[in-house]
Amino acid sequence: MAAGLFEGQYVWHPAADDRVLASVCVDVRAGRYLSARDALAETRGDAGLRAHRSLVLASEAADSDLVERWLAEEPGAEAALLWARVAVLRALRAADARDPRTEALERIALAACDRAASADPADPTPWVAKLAMARLHRLRDQAPRGLLTAPAGPWRLFAHVLSLDPWHREAHHRFLACFFTRHGGSVTAAWDVAAFLGQRAPADSPLRLLPLVALVECYDPTQLLADRVWEQPQWTSTALAIHEQWLPAVAEYRFTPVLDLAYLGHALVMARREEEARAVFTRMGPYASRMPWCVFGDPAEQLSRARRACGLPVPAV
């Protein structure tokens, strides 16, 4: 289904309109890895697509032994990469569940990331996978100049990723997450890092959305007029600038960036800029993500509420 078309139901699968990836997910669930190998090999040289596909495939493979079989039967850069992604996902799930196996799973994940990085030294994805675990270890490198609060964090690991790909989307989001309060950070640190990273990104980069991500993360419904924050001039102007500078570039993407569009659409609706939000939701088509909607209630209900505000159709009850 093409983005921009809405046929009455939301599509929640993270593959969105990457039809190759959606097909491979079916194979992975059936225990077949050859199409995954080909789909990942196709992404060499496209770090954004490689990160996206490997992350989605890891979520499909994490509960099976597919990557272990693949690595044993046909070792290579793609097998090593998916193994790293799966191992990190398992370690993070275990940590969040306070599973006693967490420490062992972390060691496996770090070794898997190192193996994948050795298999393809130019690929930033294994390092991004390792960065995803940085929140578990509370790395405390000194922050560079330019940040008001100078929060300590995994700056050296992040800098290495940027040396391979300076505007890697997932790397920036993983790094920012290390400063969220739920991961041991603080509201002020999250604001500071989001502003620092967003301001240094190109005007047409999705990284300009990072302050809007932090705004959702720091949302506190108990505060007075919490839902009116997005109407403040600084946030309205931020969302409108992203709408003007970044949204036109989405037409050239190889897959619809659903999550980024969702954050932008949400911010515009909250800022009462329904006309601009309508263009964002039209670009999203039927594709949906849980974030940021789940922060405010049931994701489907919140998304439908936003679409109605823009005069767009929603699924029939």
Residues 6+ positions from 70 with CB-CB distance below 8 Å: 33, 36, 37, 79, 82, 83
What pTM value is reported for the model? 0.95
- Pairwise CA distance, residues 154 & 188, whole Å: 17
Tell me how far CA of residue 63 lies from CA of 34, 50, 51, 107, in angstroms.
Answer: 18, 21, 20, 18
Q: pLDDT (tens digit, 0 to 9) for every residue of the chain, 317 residues total?
A: 556 677 789 999 999 999 999 999 999 999 999 999 999 999 999 999 999 999 999 999 999 999 999 999 999 999 999 999 999 999 999 999 999 999 999 999 999 999 999 999 999 999 999 999 999 887 788 988 888 888 999 999 999 999 999 999 999 999 999 999 999 899 999 999 999 999 999 999 999 999 999 999 999 999 989 999 999 999 999 999 999 999 999 999 999 999 999 999 999 999 999 999 999 999 999 999 999 999 999 999 999 999 999 999 999 86
- DSSP assignment letter at 142: P
Please say whether the beta carbons of 300 and 288 come within 8 A: yes
Tokens of 219: 């949302």
Write down the pLDDT at residue 173.
98
11 beta partners: 287
- Pairwise CA distance, residues 308 & 302, whole Å: 10
- Pairwise CA distance, residues 162 & 204, whole Å: 18
Please say whether the beta carbons of 198 and 209 come within 8 A: yes
Q: How far apart are the first and last CA of the chain?
A: 21
Write down the pLDDT at residue 210.
98
141 beta partners: 153
- Pairwise CA distance, residues 179 & 186, whole Å: 6
Torsion of CA 254, 259, 265, 270, to 10 degrees: -170
- Pairwise CA distance, residues 251 & 172, whole Å: 22
- Pairwise CA distance, residues 13 & 259, whole Å: 11
- DSSP assignment letter at 290: S
Write down the pLDDT at residue 140.
84
Write down the pLDDT at residue 145.
86
Residue whose token pair is 């670009």: 283
- DSSP assignment letter at 141: B
Q: Would you call 220 helix, strand, or coil by DSSP?
A: coil
Q: Would you call 227 helix, strand, or coil by DSSP?
A: helix
The CB density around residue 128, as the number of other CB atoms within 10 Å, is 31
